[in-house]
Structure 1
Amino acid sequence: MDSTFPQEEGLLSALSLEATEELFHGAVADLTAALKEIRQGDVSEAKAARQAVRELRAALSTAMEERNRVEKLRRDAAGVVRDHALDFDAARTEIGRRLACLRDAGGC
């Protein structure tokens, strides 16, 4: 069983997302520089460009996974089920009202 709390998981996911975004931006910069050199005739940077593309894909994939995970954690923390937040106070009030109606109708 994992000993982290939802708040800690959210923080860890947010930090992981930030790190992934930094990696993503770094790969974009590397790719841009490699493409610039390739356009100027230096084909030795083609290998670096391919590596930057691989890193970019991996970073994008990780960023999307982390974004989805953070969103799910936010929804879970807010009590969102099927895109609707559960209102426990309203549910408690409604249950109390219905029980009162049953008591009144049944003579209990």
Structure 2
Amino acid sequence: MTIRLSDGDAVPDDVLAVADDLYRMAAEELYRTIQAIRTGQMSEVKAAQTAVRDLRTTALQVLEERTKVDKLRKQIAGHVGAGGALDFDAARAEIGRRLACLRDAGGRD
């Protein structure tokens, strides 16, 4: 199942929530179909196959979206510090430099 938005449609704020809702709806449809088959409505077999296929597709989309979100979070975190890691030596040198500037600016009696 592919969700296509036209130019005027707003992109959902929480794509993961939308994917989770789709997953839930597919699971509910599968459950209803299984119940119908248990009561002897064999015409529902094709619907069950479709529901299973939709459920699998939706589950894969949820996992892909979560992977994309995790990747974006890592990219955003990478902009903090040097490559995502703090450079304590550079921080220590900067603190020392600023303290030296403050000492020089303070004057001596």
What TM-score does the superposition give when structure 1 sets the normalisation length? Answer: 0.65
Larger radius of gyration, structure 1 or 2? 2
Q: Which amino acid aligns with 2:27?
A: V
- Structure number with higher helix proportion: 1
Change (3 A) 1:60 1:87: same
Structure 1 runs (4+) greater than 4 angstroms displaced: none
| Count of residue correspondences | 82
What TM-score does the superposition give when structure 2 sets the normalisation length? Answer: 0.64
Identity of aligned residues (%): 32
Change (3 A) 1:65 1:31: same
Find the counterpart in structure 1 of residue 38 from structure 2.
Answer: 39
CA distance in 1, matches of 2:23, 2:35: 18
Find the counterpart in structure 1 of residue 91 from structure 2.
Answer: 93
CA distance in 2, matches of 1:75, 1:14: 19
Residues 26-74 of structure 1 deviation map (CA, whole Å, 9 limit, x = unaligned) = 0000000000010110011111111111110110000000001101111
Q: Match of 1:65, SS?
A: helix
Question: Are 2:12 and 2:18, in contact at CA under 8 Å, matched by a contact in 1?
Answer: no
Q: Which has the higher contact order (CA 8 A, sep 6+)?
A: 1
